[in-house]
Amino acid sequence: MTADSRPAQLYLVTPRTFDPAALARAFETALAAHPIACLRIDLGEAEEDAWRQAINHLMPVAHAHDVALVIAEHHRLVGPLGLDGVHLGTSRTPIREVRKALGRERIIGAFAGASRHRGITLAEAGADYVSLGPVAQAGALGNGKLADDDLFQWWAEMIETPAVAEGGLGPADAARLAPYADFLVPDPKIWTDPAGIEAALAPYAAAIAG
């Protein structure tokens, strides 16, 4: 993506632990105030029942607003639960194997850390998007190496596969990276901001609008 392409879009990621009903209400509030392209459910090592409960609460909200709903890691739940796709972070399952299982219509995203080589490999394997980060919080994702601005600028110029910027992404980072990243993942602290999620997302939306 370049500066004269369509603007970046917001991509939200859930906290690792949350009350499904409360988060669904917060998500509804966020959607009423700001355009959001995707929501990723990431419960870490939670049991399958917790994932199912989260999906049951969040999917009606997401699909009512035409927002893609993806799950972290567990691609085998995508089909049975009617999800839009999967985000592969720590999973060792090859993308081509996941694609064979999910078909062409489902989204497959993958995390490349701060590595150009890893990112290119994932894109060539067929990822629908490649996530780069952490942007501003060492240790938040991957091995702790930061994905700097040059990486996103290079990606926008050289690679067609959409890029996601995440990992400690604050409003100032969003403003810098909006011309180069296709999707921006606000810091998950937005969900617990005392001012509410609508206000917490406002500076990110303003950064995208320029």
pLDDT of 160-207, one tens digit each? 999 999 999 999 999 999 999 999 999 999 999 999 999 999 999 999
Question: Could you tell me where the DSSP H helices lie in the chain?
Answer: 20-33, 48-64, 78-81, 95-102, 116-125, 149-158, 171-177, 197-209
DSSP letter (8 states) at residue 71: E
102 touches 79 (CB < 8 A)? yes
Average pLDDT, the chain: 94
Please list, in sequence order, all residues whose beta carbon lies within 8 angstroms of the beta carbon of residue 35, skipping any fewer than 6 positions away. 9, 10, 205
Which of 116, 176, 118, 185 is closest to 151 using CA atoms? 116
Residue 156 tokens, joined: 């926008």
CATH numbers and ranges of domains, the chain: 9-209 (3.20.20.70)
pLDDT at 5: 62
Is the pLDDT at 147 greater than 60, yes or no?
yes
Q: Is residue 188 helix, strand or coil?
A: helix
Q: What's the pLDDT at 25?
A: 98
pLDDT tier at 143, thresholds 50, 70, 90: low
Instruction: Give me the pLDDT at residue 2, please.
Output: 37
- Sequence-distant (6+) residues with CB within 8 A of 112 are 118, 119, 121, 122, 130, 131, 132
Neighbours of 45 (CB within 10 A): 7
